[in-house]
Chain A
């Protein structure tokens, strides 16, 4: 008797719990899912046969709330614009760069060295950069030959021992690159314009210079990237005259020289980005 009563109570509890769970899970359980599906299919076919609503109609309908029954009437997206988040945010961040410089267009001297840069970006596209380069200069074979065979010095051909200046960076191009389809690398393509002083191998220790550059920055993380660029530094500097005794004299004669550098290095961005 007591056992039967207990089973009856448990059955009642079971029924109550099932109703409760159903009420939580499906508040609109009275809607037949199959009928909704068939209705949506039918209306979807009708929609496909109709022309898309005009722009004016779409705009006026934009403000109206959409009901469940109106879902099949929605038109296809026609003007989706997706702008992905930037992986390498630059605004209000410093970039400290260290790399190597190679002079690519001096026929008489091998010129290479280190290249340090510090820049700060005011926006994602505009930044200011400070440059400090030091170069090691050595004679090429043709220079040695001219000297050893004909006593011709090429010291009147100037070479840069270093450069110091500031540039304005403009980053109008932003892209993404994949390495062998395995990794996505966000990158920026920038141009720079600036000026400074070039320390030449003779007489002029600070020849006024104009600096133009273009390069790419490849993000390794939000704080680390590698960068390569071409920099053209054009300067006008005094060139020495060689006397009959072989001495170099300053006669005030000047030459304009255009150096084209290839730079490759790594940059660190700081402080840490709190946005993307």
Chain B
């Protein structure tokens, strides 16, 4: 009991001392904190609300682009794509692309320069790819502080087929892409994909056959796809398109 009264006495004296010390204190400028410190939480929750929610939604759209390092055939491509998003991060993407018809500028140059006419060689007509899509990044972009655009960055890896006239070859694809949203449902989508497959080699010249005979065979148009030897392709697909989420 005595110690309790002693404590109260000390508090009374100490409170009087505090009230006496309640003055404005000036700290030197260099001792003031210049950095803000944020608390660290055990369960961080960086994003509470997403403007664009893709979980359990379909995404449908069309695209236009090029096979930018195709040497012989038309580089242009166009097609349709669809994605189902299982949640905000994981989804499956299916794309069907059709290749532009005919040969490209380099094949025309070969025909003019050395009479090697590859018009009748077999090139890919279309392809279908089913890819796992991992959308790891979701963000917002301020455009000159006037407009906010939502965006997703994703990676793709998958399998599919490349279709020729009378032949389908298995293909492997991987790549990256980004979507920029005009609204919660409409977005621009850009993809950069590498597509790996094995297919007929348009540079036709079987062993034992002369150059002239091979050139004549190519010109005749009587060759079957099985007459061409196979070669490996690793081609770059760059596409851009419009997609709709629902």
Contact = CB atoms under 8 A, between A and B. Distances in A.
B42 to A, nearest CB: 13
Contacts of A48: none
Interface in B71-119: 71-72, 88-89, 106, 110, 113-114, 116
Given A21-B15, A187-B139, A142 B72 contact: yes
Interface size range on A against B: 35 or more
A107 B211 contact: no
A262 B192 contact: yes
Given A17-B9, A178-B139, A140 B236 contact: no
A228 B137 CA distance: 15
Given A21-B11, A152-B114, A172-B144, A179 B137 contact: yes
B203 A142 contact: yes
Nearest to A264: B176
B69 A145 contact: no
A13 B8 contact: yes
A149 B8 contact: no
A34 B110 CA distance: 93
A175 interface: yes
B137 A17 contact: no
A152 B143 contact: no
Contacts of B71: 107-108, 140, 142
Contacts of A152: 110, 113-114, 116
Contact of A175 (B8, B12, B142, B238): B142
Interface stretch (B44-52, B56-64, B122-130, B161-169): B44-52
B68 interface: yes
Grouping DSSP codes into helix (H, G, I), strand (E, B) and loop, the B interface class, with mixed when no group exceeds half, is mixed
A151 B136 CA distance: 48
Contact of B236 (A105, A142, A149, A175): A105
Contact of B8 (A17, A83, A104, A174): A17
A179 B89 CA distance: 10
Nearest to B238: A104
A108 B11 CA distance: 88
Contacts of B153: 177
A177 B139 contact: yes
A181 B9 contact: no
Contact of B211 (A83, A150, A183): A150
Interface in B12-32: 12, 15-16, 18-19
B152 to A, nearest CB: 9
Contact of B142 (A21, A173, A177, A182): A173
Contacts, number: 115
A246 interface: no
B174 interface: no
A260 B65 CA distance: 14
A254 interface: no
A237 to B, nearest CB: 17
A175 B203 contact: no
A181 B45 contact: yes
A10 B8 contact: yes
A188 to B, nearest CB: 9
Contacts of B120: none
Interface in A72-118: 83, 104-108
Contacts of A104: 68-69, 192, 236, 238
A146 B203 contact: yes
B70 interface: yes
A33 interface: no
Interface in B189-234: 192, 201, 203, 205, 211, 214, 231-232
Contact of A181 (B11, B46, B70, B145): B46
Contact of A176 (B68, B69, B140): B140
Contacts of A20: 12, 15-16, 19
A1 interface: no
Nearest to B135: A180
Given A10-B5, A172-B144, A173-B141, A178 B69 contact: no
A24 B142 contact: no
7 contacts: A13-B8, A14-B8, A104-B236, A145-B231, A150-B203, A181-B45, A184-B46
Given A149-B203, A262-B192, 18 more contacts: A14-B8, A16-B12, A24-B18, A104-B192, A104-B238, A140-B69, A140-B71, A146-B203, A150-B203, A173-B141, A174-B141, A174-B142, A177-B138, A179-B137, A181-B45, A181-B46, A183-B46, A185-B137
Interface of A: 10, 13-14, 16-17, 20-21, 24, 83, 104-108, 140-142, 145-146, 149-152, 157, 172-185, 187, 189, 260, 262, 274
